[in-house]
Amino acid sequence: MDYKHAADKIIELKNADLKLRDKLIQSGQLGKGYNEDMEKLHNRNANTLNGIIDTIGYPTIEIVGEEASEAAWLIIQHSIGQPGFMKKCAKLLENAVKENKANPKNLAYLTDRIAVYEGKPQRYGTSFDWDENGELSPNPFDDLTKVNQRRKSIGLNSMEEQIQIMRKQVERENQLPPKDIEERNQKYNEWRKTVGWIK
């Protein structure tokens, strides 16, 4: 597979993902559990991207261009049903960041997402969920001062600013907190066990 073909394919996968997400927002389905169609699409995209990565390596900007590199990261972020693939990509992305070939912000988001699914505190505060009060809040992190320092070091805004941005976004998308947070959390934990995030 040549790099141009790989880039086009990765962008195509991302567009399918965003199209389905938009459809779920329009129908008011986004945020009501992990939609079955979305789960299938995420897994299919992850499998296709995994094949591309095995062929060309991690899709950095210099290999596939900026648009396809960002698209690959989005597909990886959404491959939540495949812990092994996400962790493999995190290692590859970490190496690419060390070589100045990838965006450290993307690594921060991916590292946090993996930590949250494993039930560990996040380092950059990039991952959010509904809290017991029905407000969108950051998932647990280690220490606010340290998180803000880490965020600043890679060019992210402060935690306080990001909380406001995220809460406005869910309002715009008409996303509502789950009616029964306990039941939702129970289903979430069962799902994490099923796909292998936790034992």
- At residue 32 the predicted structure's pLDDT band, cuts being 50, 70 and 90, is confident
Q: How confident is the model at residue 65 (pLDDT cuts 50, 70, 90)?
A: very high
Q: Specify the 3-state DSSP secondary structure of 4.
A: helix
For the segment 45-55, the average pLDDT, to the nearest whole number, is 97
Integer Cα distance of 166 and 127 in angstroms: 10
Q: Which letter does DSSP use for residue 197 in this model?
A: S
pLDDT of residue 139: 97
Residues 6+ apart with CB under 8 A from 52: 1, 6, 9, 10, 59, 72
In this prediction, residues 93-116 reach a mean pLDDT of 96
In three state form, how does the secondary structure of 98-163 look?
HCCCCCHHHHHHHHHHHHHHCCCCECCCCCEEECCCCCEEECCECCHHHHHHHHHHCCCCCHHHHH
Q: Quote the mean pLDDT of the chain.
A: 95
| 14-31 pLDDT per residue, tens | 999 999 999 998 888 876
List pLDDT tens digits, range 150-181: 999 999 999 999 999 999 999 998 888 988 99
For residue 33, what pLDDT band results from cuts at 50, 70 and 90?
confident
Please compute the mean of the pLDDT values over residues 49-60 and round it to a whole number.
Answer: 97
Of all residues in the chain, what percent carry a pLDDT higher than 70? Answer: 99
**Number of residues that this document lists for the chain:** 199
- Give the pLDDT confidence score for residue 174 in this predicted structure: 86
What is the pLDDT, as a whole number, of residue 86? 98
Which tokens hold the place of 30? 């986004």
**Domain spans, the chain:** 1-102, 120-199
Tell me what the mean pLDDT of segment 61-76 comes to.
96
